[in-house]
Structure 1
């Protein structure tokens, strides 16, 4: 049986606060640094590895973190989650996104059905539909094949699937797996939908409407925008749209769609890339086999997260180092820095995944807590970020922990040698240089050129960004965030903080406003 206790009541956490801080400028210099980099690596799924040599940890810190993992029962709580206990206490729901991609734990019965079989069946239905589209068995009214798929959704229905599509687009083109171009409409700003519609041939486009409830205002508004465009083009919208929704939503059995594929309340939007939410658009874009490889990579990482040995559980290790940085070292932010253009939208996805999950100030029982929880997450691909916000990271007054992601080879396998090195070598050289520069710094009598160092970072390294590697990368961060929520004793699986603004927006549109809300409404000519 697991116990849910606030972090500051745990003996291991209190011991952690008394441990001497590690000076990176010392431990990462010379042969000591070389030894750390070689030794402080944990294998991940799909051939990835997590290296934490440049984090402010040593054996004493790691020992305290291992004891904290045990006392907080992190692996036991993970087991309770995937075996179907009600871990989402705020909404009194199960949390089952792991069941969409692997065979962890027991079969879970909910709503009178076996959820493992339910998710597998939806994936099979999507695969069959996608194969028929690719084979020309499902076509537009003129009998012509669809060439573009457009996802209409917001939040988790957009950020994750969009990031995954962009991550695999070039890989798919290189490996003859590119079936259809994908576009995404998310913002209720009409310029978003108009720009996408102006960039595609609507007659050969298949639209995927994603809304669990079937009532999401922004998504239904954009659906109407698209339907209007199809009508103006003389097309029957019902022959160009499918829905991804819950079985109880008004979209489920509507004749407005070619087909409907299902999700449920046990998979939160930000955790839904491995469900039908990501499955439909990614299977249409790249084929069901590629989506299956993506799921397999995520499943590998999920299995590693079961290990009670901290140094063999990369997600739990990453999570606990993050807790140490947030609550003991006092760092308020974390930046995610993928040195891969394919991961250009991955930091944006992690912003929602992390900040919507762990941006909480009450515990699982609704009681105020006395310690910091989720950090602010931001990021940008390298080397672009180096010419943007790295100045603050190197010499600013706040220390910001860094999470690098790098690959030894690029996806398209095309490159050119310039001045004795290839573009990929230059990219990877920048990663290595930045890690050491942040850790060790550089002394200079000119204060403006002095680098204090002691800026901690980790790096996830792989050979190439493939579907399996992407799945493992995604699951690593999902599980990291889950473990951190367990330590902080918060509910990482609801998001009440997004609701108040929605309620007030409806009042504005109904002209039921007063005070400041009315003045702002008038200012914006609503």
Structure 2
């Protein structure tokens, strides 16, 4: 029987705390050997490997982390989630984003509907739609074929799909797989929509409106902005828009759209990139077969996440080491550092994924917690970040665990040799140097040039950032966040923290908030 207990109620918790003194000053100079680098790693799926050699862990700690995973029943809880149990306790919902990538549990039946079949049917529908667009069978108001697709959405309807599109754009374009250029509108700031629309030939542009509820304020404002531009250009908006929404929303079965594709309340926004939310635009941009490869990579990582042995389960191991760093070593932040320009927006997606999921101060029962939960997540691609915030990472007063991502080859393989090495080789050399520099540091009598070291990092690496590798990378982090929520006894699948601001925004716009501070600030900004 599954039990839900707080981290500090486990029998293992004090054992973890007892290992802090031994490992807080872990000597990487002694322990970070060639053998450790080669052996402290595990397959992620999709051709990727998770390497944790530069983490402050040893064999004794790994055994304790295994015991923590077993005591918190991480695998049993994951299987329950896969089987369709109500894991989102705040909203009394199932959590089914894994099911859009393939079935790993029992068939999930809701109100007589097989949800696995429903998700597969929607994928077949939007795949067929994308192919018809590519063949020129579906055209806009002037009977010209569509060349560009623009997604209108915010939060999970933007961050994940945008990050995935940018991650594959170079790969697809250099291999003749780019079917349509894709752009994104998210911010309610009119400068966002105006800038995007100014780049478009509206007659050959298809818009994808994404809102599960059909009532998202920012998204509907941007939809009206775009519709006004289409009408001003003499175009019929109904022939230039599709909707991704729930079957119960005002957007569903609406003749104002070319077609509608459906998700449901069991696919959370930040976990929705592998559903129709990301699938429609990625299939239009690159073709359904590319999206299918991404799903296959994600499904492979999901399957590996069922391994009970943490040394064979990269997302669970990554999660446990993160809990150790957060709750035993007391480090409240983590940096995601992809040495790949293609992953330029991936840290922004992970910010939402992690901080919206596990940025909670109460447990699944609504009881206050006495320990830290989700870390602050930030990041920037290398080598840009090296010339920005790495100063603090190397010599600042706080230790910030680092998560590096790197690839052996560039996506376009369009390179130049300078001073005996290519740019891609220089990129990889920088990544390797940073891992060792953070871990081992450098002694210097000049305090300003002294690097204390002891700054731990992990590395996910592979040959090339392909759709399959990207899917596995995405699922790795989704599952890591899920496992940490299990360990901290959180509901990682609601986001009440975003609601209060929405309520107060409506009060401001009503001009009758009854709150003097709200009205005063509204006056400052001319509302």
* Corresponding residue number in structure 2 for 1:520: 521
* Corresponding residue number in structure 1 for 2:229: 229
Q: Which secondary structure does the structure 1 equivalent of 2:458 belong to?
A: strand
Q: Which digits, 9 at most, give the CA deviation of each residue in 1:460-519, with x for residues without a partner?
A: 011000000000000000000000000000000000000000000000000022311110
* Corresponding residue number in structure 2 for 1:189: 189
Please state how far the C-alpha of 1:32 moved relative to its aligned partner: 4.9
The aligned runs of 1:430-509 (5 Å cut-off) are: 430-509=430-509
CA distance in 1 between partners of 2:195 and 2:421 (Å): 39
Check conservation: 2:20, 2:328, Cα contact below 8 A. no
Check conservation: 1:25, 1:453, Cα contact below 8 A. no
Aligned length: 526
Does 1:124 pair with 2:121?
no
CA distance in 1 between partners of 2:112 and 2:392 (Å): 54
Does 1:105 pair with 2:116?
no
* Corresponding residue number in structure 2 for 1:80: 80
Does 1:385 pair with 2:350?
no
CA distance in 2 between partners of 1:207 and 1:21 (Å): 56
Check conservation: 1:100, 1:119, Cα contact below 8 A. yes
CA distance in 2 between partners of 1:106 and 1:26 (Å): 44
Check conservation: 1:332, 1:375, Cα contact below 8 A. yes
Q: Which secondary structure does the structure 1 equivalent of 2:144 belong to?
A: coil
Does 1:314 pair with 2:314?
yes
Please state how far the C-alpha of 1:5 moved relative to its aligned partner: 0.5
The aligned runs of 1:132-171 (5 Å cut-off) are: 132-171=132-171
Q: Which moved more, 1:23-32 or 1:36-45?
A: 23-32
CA distance in 2 between partners of 1:503 and 1:26 (Å): 48
Check conservation: 2:28, 2:454, Cα contact below 8 A. no
Please state how far the C-alpha of 1:418 moved relative to its aligned partner: 0.4
Q: Which moved more, 1:210-219 or 1:510-519?
A: 510-519
Check conservation: 2:12, 2:64, Cα contact below 8 A. yes
CA separation of 1:382 and 1:24: change in aligned 2, threshold 3 A: farther
Q: Which secondary structure does the structure 2 equivalent of 1:443 belong to?
A: coil
* Corresponding residue number in structure 2 for 1:92: 92
Q: Which digits, 9 at most, give the CA deviation of each residue in 1:81-106, with x for residues without a partner?
A: 01000000000000000000012111
Check conservation: 2:26, 2:454, Cα contact below 8 A. no
CA separation of 1:157 and 1:190: change in aligned 2, threshold 3 A: same
- TM-score between both structures, scaled by the size of structure 2: 0.99
Please state how far the C-alpha of 1:141 moved relative to its aligned partner: 2.3
Structure 2 gap segments, 5+ residues each: none
CA distance in 2 between partners of 1:217 and 1:419 (Å): 53
CA separation of 1:486 and 1:31: change in aligned 2, threshold 3 A: closer
Check conservation: 1:28, 1:36, Cα contact below 8 A. no
CA separation of 1:379 and 1:31: change in aligned 2, threshold 3 A: closer
Please state how far the C-alpha of 1:24 moved relative to its aligned partner: 8.6
CA distance in 2 between partners of 1:301 and 1:524 (Å): 48
* Corresponding residue number in structure 1 for 2:342: 342
Q: Which secondary structure does the structure 1 equivalent of 2:394 belong to?
A: helix
* Corresponding residue number in structure 1 for 2:262: 262
CA separation of 1:221 and 1:422: change in aligned 2, threshold 3 A: same
CA separation of 1:431 and 1:21: change in aligned 2, threshold 3 A: farther
Check conservation: 1:43, 1:49, Cα contact below 8 A. yes
CA distance in 2 between partners of 1:289 and 1:175 (Å): 14
The aligned runs of 1:383-422 (5 Å cut-off) are: 383-422=383-422
CA distance in 2 between partners of 1:32 and 1:379 (Å): 25
Structure 1 gap segments, 5+ residues each: none
Q: Which digits, 9 at most, give the CA deviation of each residue in 1:140-171, with x for residues without a partner?
A: 12221100000000000000000000000000
Q: Which secondary structure does the structure 1 equivalent of 2:491 belong to?
A: coil
Please state how far the C-alpha of 1:27 moved relative to its aligned partner: 4.4
CA distance in 2 between partners of 1:463 and 1:214 (Å): 41
Please state how far the C-alpha of 1:439 moved relative to its aligned partner: 0.3
Q: Which secondary structure does the structure 2 equivalent of 1:461 belong to?
A: strand
* Corresponding residue number in structure 2 for 1:360: 360
CA separation of 1:189 and 1:31: change in aligned 2, threshold 3 A: closer
Please state how far the C-alpha of 1:33 moved relative to its aligned partner: 1.9
CA separation of 1:23 and 1:448: change in aligned 2, threshold 3 A: farther
CA distance in 1 between partners of 2:112 and 2:170 (Å): 42
Check conservation: 1:336, 1:403, Cα contact below 8 A. yes
CA distance in 1 between partners of 2:264 and 2:456 (Å): 39
Q: Which secondary structure does the structure 1 equivalent of 2:12 belong to?
A: helix
* Corresponding residue number in structure 2 for 1:42: 42
Q: Which secondary structure does the structure 2 equivalent of 1:460 belong to?
A: strand
CA distance in 1 between partners of 2:459 and 2:278 (Å): 26
- TM-score between both structures, scaled by the size of structure 1: 0.99
Q: Which digits, 9 at most, give the CA deviation of each residue in 1:323-369, with x for residues without a partner?
A: 00000000010000000000000000000000000000000000001
Check conservation: 2:24, 2:329, Cα contact below 8 A. no
* Corresponding residue number in structure 2 for 1:10: 10
Q: Which digits, 9 at most, give the CA deviation of each residue in 1:9-57, with x for residues without a partner?
A: 0011221110144569864336852221011011110110000010010
Please state how far the C-alpha of 1:60 moved relative to its aligned partner: 0.9
CA distance in 1 between partners of 2:314 and 2:32 (Å): 23
